[in-house]
Amino acid sequence: MSSSSESRQAKMIEELRVFIKKVMSEPTIAVKSMDIARKYKGQPNSDELIAREISANTTIRIPENWSEADKMFLEILHEVLDDEEALY
């Protein structure tokens, strides 16, 4: 693995660690994030709308220029919604 790749991976891991700590210390973040994701599911630019509203209504900050960790978080929200849909 190259040095820049290792650096990016280390940064993403650190961002995810901070995120997980926030979720564990404030459990309403997960519920709010899922509610927001449901609200915008299927809409054009849903990821941008989701990111903006999560940033405005929780302690999670998703900047305009998404990191790999931000993208992963948004992907996971969609996966959870898809899993919910599959249950019904």
For the chain, the structural domain boundaries read: 3-87
Give the per-residue pLDDT at 1. Answer: 60
Give the count of beta carbons closer than 10 Å to the beta carbon of residue 38. 14
Is 0.85 surpassed by the pTM of this model? no
Residue bearing tokens 């990821």: 47
pLDDT per residue over 28-49, tens digit each? 999 999 999 999 999 999 999 9
